[in-house]
Structure 1
Amino acid sequence: MTPRFATDIITFFHPDFWGLQSADAVRGWASANPEGFWERVMDALAEAGVTGIELTFAPGDIDSALRAFGGAPAFRRALETRGLSVVSAFIAGSDCPDWRDGTNLPAIVADAERRAAFLAGMGAELLVAGLPMRTTFGTRPPFFVDAAYMTRMADIAHVVGEAVARHGVKLAFHTESNSTLWYERDIDLFMALTDPRYVWLCPDSCHIALGGGDPVAVARRHAQRIALAHWKDAVKPIDVHLTVDETVFAQQQPYMTELGTGIVDWRGWADAMSRTPGAGIVLIELDEAPDPVAALRAGTAVASRQMRA
C-alpha cells in the first residue's frame, strides 16, 4: 500500500508565505479573509502533491473553515475539486475546556462531539488531542504526573473516546513536549491505563526525541494503537527546564529541524509506522515554513526514500 501524504495546517502560518510582517498580522488577515486563506492553502497543497490536511489552531481550525465555506459539505467539495481531504483535526484553541478541571466533563464531551460531527461530515475519522501541560520545574506547590493524575486523564479519555466513536471517529493522543504525555514513561503509563478500543496514540517523532526518548522504540511498543503519527525531526533533546507558559512553544522551536537533518532514525521510524493501523497516512509536520511548497516536497522526498529502503 502506498501511503498518502498529509500535513498540519500550521505549516502555512509563516508570515513570509503571506507577505506579512508578523504572526499576528497573519491571524488578523486570515480572520478577516477566511476564504482567501483557505484558497491559497489548498492551492499550495495541490502544488506540493500533499493531499491530506490536519486542522488545528486558528486560522487553520474548524471554525475558520466553516466561516469560509458555510458548512462541512461545501468545504469538502472545495477540497475534493483539488484532490484534497481532511484526515484529522486537533482539539486546540483558547476556548477548549481544560481537561485538568474534572468538574467540566460535560463541556469536554460536547466540544469533542462537535468536532467529531464535523469530521464525520468531511469523511474523516481521527480526532487528535493532547494532555494538559506540565508546570515549570521548581514551581511550588509542585505538580506531579503520577498514577492518580494519569488515572483521571484516562477516565476522561474513555468518556470522550466513547462519545466520538458514536460518530465513527477515533480519539488519538499526541505526544507534545512539556506536556503530561511527553516522556516515554508518560506514554507507557497512559496507554496501560486506557482501553485500546476507545483510546489511540498519535506519536510525534520530534517531541518524543526532545524528551530524551526513542521515537522508534515507542512506535514499536505501541504499534497496534497508532492511528496517526506526526513525522518531524529534532536537533537534540531539550536539555534545560523551559518556562511553561504561553511562550513555551516558541521556546521549543530551536530544538526542531527539517526532516532528515536531525537525530530521528527515519528508517526505523518508517519501518515501525508500516506496521500500524495508521500506515496509510504519512503526516509531515513543518511548523510555519516560509516556503511551504518547497518544504513539503523536501519532507515527502525524505519520507519516501525511507519507506522504500
Structure 2
Amino acid sequence: MTPPAPRFATDVITFYHPDFWGLDSAEALRDWAHDHPGAFWERVMDTLTEAGVTGLELTFAPGDIDSALRAFGGAASFRHELAARGLSVVSAFVAGSDAPGWRQDGNLPAIVADAERRAAFLAEVGAELLVASLPMRATFGTRPPFFVDAAYMTRMADIAHVVGEAVSRHGVQLAFHTESHSTLWYERDIDLFMALTDPRYVWLCPDSCHIALGGGDPVAVARRHSQRIALAHWKDAVKPIDVHLTIDETVFARQQPYMTELGTGIVDWRAWADAMSFTPGAGTVLIELDEAADPVAALRAGRAVVEEARAWPAVGDRAAAHIERRGRA
C-alpha cells in the first residue's frame, strides 16, 4: 500500500520579497498591498497555481485575514476565489500588532475573542487549524530576569486550554508553533508545554528550522510528539544560533542569516519526512520560505526536496505499513 501524496502548502510570507513586486522595500510592499488588496491576492493565487502548490497559511499583514476580507468582502467569497483555482486555506497564524499579548494579566477575554474571530473566519473559508505561538523570551542578561519555568508554562497552558476549547466550538484546532526566541523554542520548552496541556484541545506545529536554530533535534521532537502534530512547517537551517540576540522588534530580521532553502542546510529531510508520515498532519506539507524573490522557483525546488525525501524507501515502506495497520484496527 502506497501512502497518499500530500497536498503542498506555503505561508503567505513566501510572497513578501519586494523584488517579486517590483518594489524597493518591505514597507513599500505593505503600503501598496494595503491599498490594493485585490491585486495582491490575485497575484499570490496565480503564483501558487503556477508553482503547483494548492494550500495557503495566512499570517501577518499584508497576507492576513483582514486583507482577505477587504479584498473579497467575506470569507465565503475568498473561499470561492481560491477554489476556482484549485486552492484552499490550510491554516492561519495568530500574528499582527492587534493580537492581544499572553503575558499581560487580564487579557484572557480579549485573547479568546480574538481567537474566536479568527476561528469563525477559518470555519467559513473551509480550514480547520489556527496556529499560535507563545510569547517571546527576554534578552539574556535582562534585569530583572524572566524565567521560563513551571509556573510560567502552567499559566500558558491554562490560557491555551481556554482558547483551544473556544475555537473547537467552531470545528478548529489550536496548534502551537515552535518560534525562535519564543518561550516554545527549546526541546525542553516543547516537552514541558505538551506535558501540561490536554491533547484534545492543544496541538503542535513544529518548525524544523526553528527547532534546529535552538540547538534541538527537530526529528526527535516530531517523533516524541507525533500524535499531536496537526501541521508542520518544513524549513531548513544553516546552523544553531550560537549567540544571544537582542529580543526586540528586529530579532526576526537578525534570525534570517541562519535560515536557508530546503536541502541546503542541516535538517535531515529523510528522517523528518519519515517522522511526519506518522502524524495526524501527514496529509499536508507546508513549505516555509521567507520572502522569496522568485516564489515559483523556490517552491518548486522545495517541493523537489520533499518529494525526494518522501520517496526514500524506508519512508514510504514504513508509512504504508502504518496506514495498513491503522486500516486493520
TM-score range, shorter chain: over 0.9
User: Per the alignment, in what secondary structure is the counterpart of residue 31 of structure 2?
Assistant: helix
Instruction: Say whether 1:126 aligns with 2:129.
Output: yes
Cα displacement string for residues 49-87 of structure 1 (whole angstroms, at most 9, x for unaligned residues): 000000001000000000000000110010001000000
Q: What are the superposed Cα offsets for residues 211-235 of structure 1, whole Å, 9 maximum, x if unpaired?
A: 0000000000000000000000000
Query: Which residue matches 1:29?
Result: 32
Q: 1:184 aligns with which of 180, 187, 200?
A: 187
Q: What residue in structure 1 maps to residue 319 of structure 2?
A: none
RMSD between aligned residues? 0.4
Q: In 1, distance between residues paired with 2:80 and 2:198? A: 35
Does 1:247 pair with 2:250? yes
Name the CA distance, whole Å, in 2 between partners of 1:129 and 1:171: 7
Q: Residue in 1 aligned with 2:323?
A: none
> Structure 2 CA distance, aligned partners of 1:272 and 1:203?
12
Partner residue, 1:280: 283
Match of 1:45 in 2: 48
Question: Aligned residue for 1:110?
Answer: 113
Match of 2:11 in 1: 8
1-side partners of 2:106 and 2:188: how far apart?
27
Q: Pick one of 151, 156, 160 that aligns with 1:157.
A: 160
Q: Distance in 2 between matches of 1:277 and 1:247?
A: 34
- Give the paired residue count: 309
Alignment of 1:190-205 (within 5 A): 190-205=193-208
Alignment pair present for 1:90 and 2:89: no
1:102 positional shift: 3.0
Q: Where does structure 2 lack aligned partners over 5 or more consecutive residues? A: 313-329
Whole-Å Cα distance in 2 between the matches of residues 304 and 164 of structure 1? 33
SS at match of 1:275: coil
Counterpart code for 1:16: D
Q: Which amino acid is 2:124 matched to?
A: G
Q: Distance in 2 between matches of 1:257 and 1:270?
A: 18
> What's the counterpart of residue 68 of structure 1?
71
TM-score normalised by L of structure 2: 0.94
Structure 1 residue runs of 4 or more that deviate by more than 6 Å after TM superposition: none
> Which of 284, 290, 293 in structure 2 is aligned with 1:290?
293
Structure 1 unaligned spans of 5+: none
The alignment's TM-score, normalised by the length of structure 1, stands at 1.00
**Structure 2 residue identity aligned to 1:229:** A
Equivalents in 2 of 1:307, 1:57: separation in Å? 30
- Counterpart-to-counterpart distance in 2, 1:126 and 1:205: 19
1:168 maps to 171
Deviation at 1:104, TM superposition (A): 1.1
Question: 1:147 pairs with 137, 147, 150, which one?
Answer: 150
Alpha-carbon separation, structure 1, partners of 2:144 and 2:264: 39
Letter in 2 for 1:57: F
Matched residue SS, 2:106: helix
